[in-house]
Amino acid sequence: MRYPLTLTVNGQAHQLDADADRTLLQLLRADLGLTGTKEGCDDSECGACMVLVDGRPVNSCCYLALQTSGREVVTVEGLANGTELGALQRAFLEEGGVQCGYCTPGMLISATALLRSNPTPSDDDIRQALAGNLCRCTGYNKIVAAVRRAAGNTT
């Protein structure tokens, strides 16, 4: 059975119908064509599917689309300023915090949530905020450096 769903994604309002068991990840990728959000483990373990829902990071693979009714969702695509990368995205590139790129969208979303709540985080704060995001390539040091750079924090 399909249910009506109204939500805002990256500042754009959407009205559609969704099955009760459809995940937010499925809706974003298949219905809205926002493929920056990745499916990794499909079990809320890796963070590749992380998005912001009302400013809070959630794993969209295990979050029902219908739970977003009337809410604001931000995906990695929503972090850019039009065609220009956002400060955090630029910092990831400049610090070499991107290798295969599969975890990057989730890392960017988690880091965005951190910097919105704590604009000058310590390295420990950054590592704790990114604890739900797994990366097999970088060893995390360059990712932490990128978040620190975006925060303007050199300590």
pLDDT of residue 139: 76
Same domain assignment for residues 50 and 33: yes
User: How many domains are contained in the chain?
Assistant: 2
Query: In terms of domains, do 43 and 105 share one?
Result: no
Q: Say yes or no: 52 and 21 in one domain.
A: yes
Residue 146 CB partners (closer than 8 Å, separation 6+): 88, 91, 92, 94, 95, 97, 111
Same domain as 96, residue 68: no
**80-89 contacts: CB < 8 A, separation 24 or more?**
87/150, 88/112, 88/115, 88/146, 88/147, 88/150
Q: Check residue 42 and give its pLDDT.
A: 86
Domain boundary among 26, 49, 79: 79
Q: Does the model's pTM come out above 0.75?
A: yes
DSSP 11: T
Range of the domain at 30: 2-79
Residue at a domain's end among 61, 79, 97: 79
Within this chain, do residues 72 and 93 fall inside the same structural domain, yes or no? no
**Of the residues 39, 57, 79, the one at which a domain ends:** 79
Structure token pair of residue 2: 């399909």
Beta-bridge partner residues of 4? 17
Dump pLDDT digits (tens) for 43-97. Answer: 888 999 999 999 999 999 999 999 999 999 999 999 999 899 999 999 999 999 9
Whether 75 and 91 share a structural domain: no
**pLDDT tens sequence across 90-137:** 999 999 999 888 999 999 999 999 999 999 999 999 999 999 999 988
